[in-house]
Amino acid sequence: MDYSVPRLTDYSAAALERAAGESIAACQSELAAVRSDGDLKAFRDRWMARKNGILTQINELWLKDAPREAKREAGIRVNDLKARITELVEAAHVSESRADALAPETVDITLPGVRRPIGAEHPVVRTTNEIVSVFQKLGYSVAEGPVVETDYYNFEALNFPPNHPARDTQDTLFIAGQQSRPQRERLLLRTHTSPVQIRTMEKMRPPVRIVIPGTVHRNDPPDASHSPMFHQIEGLAVDTNITFGDLKGTLDHAMKALFGSSVKTHFRPSFFPFTEPSAELYVTCFICGGSGKRGADPCRPCKQTGWIEVLGCGMVDPNVFGFVKDNGYDPKKVAGFAFGMGVDRLALLKYGVDDLQYFFQGDVRFLQQFR
C-alpha cells in the first residue's frame, strides 16, 4: 500500500497514460490484498473518500494544477480513470485465494475423530443416586421441591413456631425485601429438604414412602467441612401402625446396604421440632472399623470414638400431621418416621476426601478420580 498520487510535470498524452496506468495497477493490487470486511472498508475509504481519498487527490493534483493548454486532455483522462477506479472499488468484495476458499471443504478422513470429553459423574451425585436407589428398592419413590421456599414450609409447618429458638439453629439465608408480606409467606433459601415432607403430604394421601434429594443453603462460610450450599436426602414413611422399630429396621438395613453388612448402627436421643422422639444415627466408623485407631494413630474422621454420625431422624411429631390433617393425616390414625442426611459429608467420608471445597471447584481432574 505504498502508492501515492504523484505530482505531474509532464502533461503529454503519454505521461498521463502512464500515470493513469500506475494508478489502476495500484488499485488492483490493493484490492487483491483485501481479506476481511475491515480491509474492504479501509480500501474503499482510501480510494473513494471525498476528503483526501486518492480520486480526490488525483482531481486536485492532475486537473487543477494542469496548465491551461493541457486541461482538456487531462480532464478526459482523469474522468476515464475515475470511472475505471470507481468500477473497481464498487465491485470489490472480500476476496479469498483459491486455496483459502477450498480449505474448509477439505476433510482428511484418515485423521482420528475429535474426542469430546463428557466429564465425570460428580461424587455427590453418585452418592445421592446410591442412597436413593437403596430406598427405591424398599418401595420408596422420589419427590422434589423448590429451593426458594416460604417460611411456612421451611419452619412453621415443621413445628418451628414464629420466634421459636430452634429456628436459630438453621443459619437461614432470607430473601431480601419480604418485610411487607405476612411472615409465613416470606421467602428464604430452604435450610433443609424437610419442607418437601409437608408439600408431599399436601398432595398425597397416606400411605407415603418417599425420599427427597436436593440442595439446601445455610449462612455458613465455606471451609473444609462447611459450604453455604450443600445436599441432603430426606425420607418420610407414613402409614397406620408405624413404630420406632420400623425406623430402626429401615435405617439399619439402609446403612448396611450403603456401607457394608458389617456396619453397626447406634441411635442416640436428640431433638428436632418436627419429630418426637428424635434421634441421631451413628454407624461404626468405616475408616477404622470402630476401633477409633488407625494403626498407632488416632482415627480422625470419628474423633477416636469409633462412631460416625450420619443422620437425624425420629417419629413424625403429631403437630406436623396437624398441618395436613385435612388430607388424611389424622395424628390419631396415622404415624410415621422421617430422617434427613447430608450427602456431601457422607461422600467425603466414603471417598476419604479431606476438604469439602474440592467438591465445588468443578475441576474435572479431581472429579474423575471417583469413577
Q: Where are the beta strands (DSSP E) in 157-264?
A: 187-189, 208-217, 229-239
What's the sign of the alpha-carbon dihedral 344, 345, 351, 354? Answer: positive
Q: Binding mask 290-319 vs ligand DAH (x if CB under 6 A, - otherwise)?
A: ----------------------xxx-----
- Please identify, using beta-carbon distances, which residue of 30 and 280 lies nearer to ligand DAH: 280
Grid coordinates belonging to 177 = 425485601
Residue 303 CB, nearest distance to ligand DAH (Å)?
Answer: 20
Report the residue from 338, 349, 353, 367 that binds ligand DAH according to the rule CB under 6 A.
338
Residue 140 touching ligand DAH (CB under 6 A): no
Report the residue from 159, 200, 275, 284 that binds ligand DAH according to the rule CB under 6 A.
275
Residue 207 CB, nearest distance to ligand DAH (Å)?
Answer: 17
Distance CA 124, CA 346 (A): 9
- Please identify, using beta-carbon distances, which residue of 310 and 313 lies nearer to ligand DAH: 313
Residue 339 touching ligand DAH (CB under 6 A): yes
Residue 195 touching ligand DAH (CB under 6 A): no
DSSP of 314-333, one letter per residue?
EEEPHHHHHTTGGGT--TTT
Ranges within 212-271 binding ligand DAH (CB under 6 A): 234
Characterize the bridge pairing of strands 335-342 and 265-272. unpaired
- Cα angle 338, 339, 341 (rounded to 5 degrees) comes to 160
Residue 365 CB, nearest distance to ligand DAH (Å)?
Answer: 32
Residue 359 CB, nearest distance to ligand DAH (Å)?
Answer: 18
H-only helix segments in the chain? 13-32, 37-48, 54-58, 71-91, 98-102, 123-137, 151-154, 195-203, 244-259, 318-322, 343-351, 364-367
Distance CA 117, CA 115 (A): 6
Residue 172 touching ligand DAH (CB under 6 A): no
Residue 194 touching ligand DAH (CB under 6 A): yes
Of the listed pieces 21-29, 103-111, 326-334, 335-343, which binds ligand DAH according to CB under 6 A?
335-343
Residue 341 CB, nearest distance to ligand DAH (Å)?
Answer: 7
Residue 272 touching ligand DAH (CB under 6 A): yes
Q: How many residues bind ligand DAH (CB under 6 A)?
A: 11
Grid coordinates belonging to 176 = 431480601
Distance CA 367, CA 354 (A): 14
Q: Binding mask 98-137 vs ligand DAH (x if CB under 6 A, - otherwise)?
A: ----------------------------------------
Tell me if residue 296 falls in helix, strand or coil. coil
Residue 234 CB, nearest distance to ligand DAH (Å)?
Answer: 5
- Please identify, using beta-carbon distances, which residue of 156 and 234 lies nearer to ligand DAH: 234
* 222-235 as b/e: b if 16+ CB within 10 A: eeeeebeebbbbbb
Query: Which residues in this chain contact ligand DAH in the complex, by CB under 6 A?
Result: 192, 194, 234, 272, 275, 312-314, 338-340
